[in-house]
Structure 1
Amino acid sequence: MKIIISRKGFDSGYGGYPSPILPDGRMVSFPIPDIDKSISYKDLHFDDRYNYMELMKSLFGDTLKHEGYGKVLVDDIGCHLDPDIQSTAYERNKDWRGLFGQAGIAQKHLKNQDVSVGDIFLFFGWFRQTELVNGRIIYDKKDKKGKHVIYGYMEVGEIHQVNKLDTDEWMHYHPHVKRGKGATDNDVIYVAKDKLSVDSSLDGYGTLKYCDAVTLTKDGFSKSRWNLPDIFKHTSISYHSENSWKDNYFQSAAKGQEFVLESTVEIKNWLEKLFKQAK
């Protein structure tokens, strides 16, 4: 089984702000902006309480960054809902399961790494603690810069080339599937398993709750300096080398969306503990 540590959601170029760790420990990953407006931030909900657009405006105001376009209004931009692993985020068909699309160089990398059915994506992003003040969610001033955190997961159940996909209606909303027959040969949609193989009590996709187990950034360090357990030294991690291991931290690569590694017995045990603590 391979594990893919996958960078997703807002960053310094797309969005420009960290996604929030809510006061109750749940995490909301803001999908990156998209000039396609078929899905807007106001269409998305974390649960009955939190609308994405309202939450964004409460945290940082009316504008966000979109690389190549500069600052854009939250109301005037669509969003790229991918990966789509949170069941309450959008209107769902009864057949819905978690979905993740990839294309271009990033998908070529996944193919070259032989990512296949049964492998597990761990999605991480830039997050910052928040607090509730006078009925409003704001960034916690004590957490000034934020950190890299694993916020969600998906075990691969099916892999489809988008331009050869004959699919049920339930997938058609997804930004990669919408490309249809016009997609390149290197545009792929990953469909989640129903249940997680390392813990069959859990769905094969979902979001995680904030805790030490899902925190990648080492305390007191910049967000790209990680506190990976020593067990990861015994397997290769794509886009990284032995030089990535420093005296007291692991330097994660600035480039590359997916970091692929072959799990060992120790890493599988680590993964099982992560799910038990973060779900």
Structure 2
Amino acid sequence: MKLIFSRKGFDSSAGGVPSPLVEGRPISLPIPTRMPTPLTFGDLTEPIPTLIEQLTRGRHTRATPCHLDPDLDPSVRPRAPGWRGALGQLAAAQSHLVGQGVGVGDLFLFWGLFRPVTQIQGRWSYEGQREHRVFGWLQIGEVFSLGVDGTHAAERYPWLEEHPHSRPGWKENNTLYIAADRLMLDGRIAQRPGFGLFKTGFRLTESHAPRPSIWSVPDWLNPTRGGVGLTYHPSQRWSSSGTLEAAARGQEFVADITNRPDAFAWLDQLFAQEACLCESTHM
């Protein structure tokens, strides 16, 4: 099985600020976009529109078009029958996934840049330090090649009509990854849906790191400790002390954890300690 650490949401270049940690809960803000999309931030449920306006100090408003992708949260929009999580990808990032053989059964772990926030007299503001944190997952149930005009996706799955990659105007390798119904780890069907959001997520940034891109990584991932490594990360980025200098470029970092029971044990622990926010909706 391939494990993909997938960078998503607001950061210093996409959106201009970190996504918020609200009482420890990561809320990944979908990025503003000029790409095809049917939605604005104002179309999403609160507190997202208010967080957007206040944390960006009006740089982005409720009228700003947004790229709701990955689409993992059933509560952020009214949903059509049959809806489930999906992720769109294209261009160089999609070519990388294809080159790594990513397909049905592989697992995306979504991460992004976060910072704690507080609300005083009705206004949100940042406090504390920035960090990289895993906030959600999607196990691939189907790979749907859409091409430059993705509108035919909604003919097959009407609930995909609002997904931004199901619009015209994309690159030829525009592709949609649709979630599996149930999570399966190492041949075992877990009592969880194939996609969702974590309550608090998993902090990647090392606790005393001077910047978010220094990660504390498990031994099964760290090649200096016998781990499998991660695409985009050559040997000089890894430390035998257990840290990784995460690459500034690239969206999809792939690790092959086939025949690595230590990696599956790590995933089991992650899901066991993180009852997902959408279990009650899908189970």
| Structure 1 residue 277: Cα displacement | 1.4
Q: For residues 157 and 216 of structure 2, what CA distance do their matches in structure 1 show?
A: 42
1:209 is aligned to 199
Q: What code does the residue aligned with 1:230 have? A: D
| Equivalent residue pairs, number | 258
Q: For 2:174 and 2:164, how far apart are their aligned partners in 1?
A: 11
1:133 positional shift: 2.8
Report the TM-score, using the length of structure 2 for normalisation. 0.86
Distance 1:133 1:186, change over 3 A: same
Structure 1 residue 4 corresponds to structure 2 residue 8: no
Paired AA for residue 223 in structure 1? P
Superposed CA deviations along residues 205-258 of structure 1, whole A, max 9, x for unmatched, are 1111225xx000011211010000122122031111221112542111111100
Q: Residue 164 of structure 2 aligns to a residue in which SS?
A: coil
After superposition, give the CA deviation of every residue in 1:169-215 in whole Å (9 maximum; x if it has no partner): 11121111112xx644311000001111136221111111225xx00
| One-letter identity of the residue aligned with 2:232 | Y
Distance 2:237 2:26 in 1: 28
Give 1:178's aligned amino acid.
R
For 1:159 and 1:169, the matched residues in 2 are separated by 17
Q: What amino acid maps onto 2:231 in structure 1? A: S
Gap change, CA 1:93 and 1:240, over 3 Å in 2: same
Q: Which residue of 1 aligns with 2:190?
A: 200
8 Å Cα contact 2:42/2:63 also seen in 1: no
- 1:139-178 Cα shifts (integer Å, max 9, x gaps): 22xx14x100001100000001013755221112111111
- Structure 1 distance, partners of 2:199, 2:31, is 21
Residues 109 and 138 of structure 2 are in contact (CA less than 8 Å); yes or no, is this contact kept in structure 1? yes
Alignment correspondent of 1:169:
158
* 1:1-279 → structure 2 map (5 Å cutoff): 1-23=1-23, 25-35=24-34, 36=36, 38-45=38-45, 50-63=46-59, 73-140=60-127, 143-144=128-129, 146-163=130-147, 165=153, 166-179=155-168, 183-198=170-185, 200-210=190-200, 214-221=202-209, 222-233=211-222, 234-248=227-241, 249-263=243-257, 264-279=260-275
1:37 deviates by: 6.0
SS at match of 1:159: strand
Paired residues of 1:99 and 1:192 also in contact (CA < 8 A): yes
TM normalised by structure 1 equals: 0.87
Deviations 1:34-81 (A, max 9, x none): 135620111112xxxx33111222334211xxxxxxxxx424420001
Deviation at 1:135, TM superposition (A): 4.3
**Structure 1 residue ranges without an equivalent (≥5):** 64-72
1:113 Cα deviation from its structure 2 partner: 0.3
How well do the aligned residues superpose, as a CA RMSD in angstroms? 1.8
**Aligned-partner SS, 2:50:** helix
Q: Secondary structure at the match of 2:93?
A: helix
| Structure 1 residues 186 and 37: alpha-carbon distance in aligned structure 2, compared to 1, 3 A threshold | closer
* CA distance, structure 2, for counterparts of residue 82 and residue 124 of structure 1: 13
CA contact 1:62–1:75 (8 Å) conserved in 2: no
Unaligned runs of 5+ in 2: 276-283
CA distance change for structure 1 residues 15 and 268 in 2, over 3 Å: closer, same or farther? same
